[in-house]
Amino acid sequence: MAKNLIVLVGPTGVGKTELSLRMAERFGTSIISSDSRQLYADLKIGTAAPTPEQLARVPHHFVGTLHLTDYYSAARYETDVLELLDKLFLEKDTVVMAGGSMMYVDAVCKGIDDIPAVDAETRRFLSERYENEGLERLAAELRLLDPEYCHKADLKNPKRIIHALEICYMTGRTYTSFRTQKKKERPFRIIKTGLTRSREELYERINRRVDRMMEEGLPEEAKAVYPYRHLNALNTVGYKEMFNYLDGKWELPFAIDKIKQNSRIYSRKQMTWFRRDEDIQWFHPRQEEDILAFLQDKTRDHLKACY
């Protein structure tokens, strides 16, 4: 029997959550979250994680399954999702995957390079160096060890810089040498849909969403996880700004404005990334019936092709 993975992507705040629920309900299936921060149980408000009511409507996977101190990566996510799909496809012909974490989506759809797992000692060593020496010093070292990667990498992204150095230290090879970026074949069909809105409409929704997070208790949530602020899981929009507020560096109104601004910047990065994927069929969220009809046609066509 034909197996389909419906993938729903789009920028933060565009409306993926509610549509993914109706998709899953229409196909009688479950949802795999591809949001790298919704994995953490302590980050509900700042990640706009599904509510208890939404979780009750449709079974979800990879939501609230990790502690802040747990190490996780796109490579681990690829492995875990593929193992889960093997089980889900025994009962369902179609599964929905929804979220906006670009690397996580690509890890499942295209595969991630076979890069060695980093041992705990190396990870701790580089983490301590980052805390003591700062990102600029580590980036300068990476320029010497792997200049080719530095030409492409975001040198302001601690996670990317630290991980590349971890691989260099562990293997004695450049991080670039492991990055073949060869697409892997999957034993199921991938149907990609994307949600988009005008910039003005999306920005207004992002601003309202941040206001709602504040009303729901984002400052209190940030205060609860403040002791872990140095962890990569909290190197994300919403928490970084709240930590500056809690540190007394920023007034609360300024911190809120910065969350809105940085969320808008992140939404642009997401769209730039996703727009490069020619397999994504784009819709406005108001085209829900068109989206569902498109998906039903695609899954039906695939079913016919298998006989």
Whether the predicted pLDDT of 182 surpasses 80: no
Is the same domain home to 42 and 169?
Answer: no
43 within domain boundaries:
yes
242 within domain boundaries:
no
- Band of the pLDDT at 301, cuts 50, 70, 90? low
**Mean pLDDT value of segment 24-41:** 97
CA distance 145 to 141: 6
Predicted confidence at residue 260, as pLDDT, reads 98
Is the same domain home to 207 and 161?
Answer: no
204 within domain boundaries:
yes
Is the same domain home to 26 and 144?
Answer: no
> E strands along 26-100, which residues?
31-33, 60-61, 94-98
The answer to whether 286 and 182 have CB atoms below 8 angstroms apart is no
**Mean pLDDT value of segment 236-250:** 97
Bigger pLDDT: 302 vs 272: 272
- Band of the pLDDT at 217, cuts 50, 70, 90? very high
**What's 165's domain CATH number?**
1.10.20.140
184 within domain boundaries:
no
Q: What is the mean pLDDT of the chain?
A: 93
Domain extent for 153: 120-178
247 within domain boundaries:
no
Any idea which of 21-25, 185-189, 228-232 has the lowest mean pLDDT? 228-232
Bigger pLDDT: 5 vs 159: 5
- Band of the pLDDT at 112, cuts 50, 70, 90? confident
Bigger pLDDT: 172 vs 32: 32
Give the pTM: 0.82
> E strands along the chain, which residues?
4-9, 31-33, 60-61, 94-98, 189-195, 281-283
Per-residue pLDDT tens for 253-287?
999 999 999 999 999 999 999 999 999 999 999 99
The alpha carbon of 272 is separated from its chain's Cα centroid by a whole number of angstroms, namely 15
Is the same domain home to 53 and 24?
Answer: yes
Predicted confidence at residue 237, as pLDDT, reads 96
Is the same domain home to 206 and 148?
Answer: no
Predicted confidence at residue 302, as pLDDT, reads 54
292 within domain boundaries:
yes
Is the same domain home to 87 and 174?
Answer: no
Is the same domain home to 26 and 108?
Answer: yes
Bigger pLDDT: 284 vs 307: 284
Whether the predicted pLDDT of 307 surpasses 50: no
Bigger pLDDT: 64 vs 183: 64
Is the same domain home to 34 and 75?
Answer: yes
CA distance 217 to 196: 28
Is the same domain home to 58 and 155?
Answer: no
The CA distances from residue 3 to 33, 79, 93, 197, 303, in Å, are: 18, 18, 5, 30, 8
Is the same domain home to 196 and 294?
Answer: yes
**N-terminal to C-terminal alpha carbon distance within the chain:** 9
Is the same domain home to 25 and 90?
Answer: yes
**What's 42's domain CATH number?**
3.40.50.300
Q: Is the Cα dihedral 54, 219, 62, 282 positive or negative? A: positive
Number of domains in the chain: 2
90 within domain boundaries:
yes
The amino acid sitting at 149 is Y
Is the same domain home to 58 and 202?
Answer: yes
Tokens in use for 230? 């140095």
The CA distances from residue 41 to 49, 51, 191, in Å, are: 9, 12, 29
243 within domain boundaries:
no
Between the CA atoms of 222, 73, 119 and 113, what dihedral angle is there, to the nearest 10 degrees? -160
> E strands along 93-188, which residues?
94-98
State what percent of residues in the chain have pLDDT above 90. 78
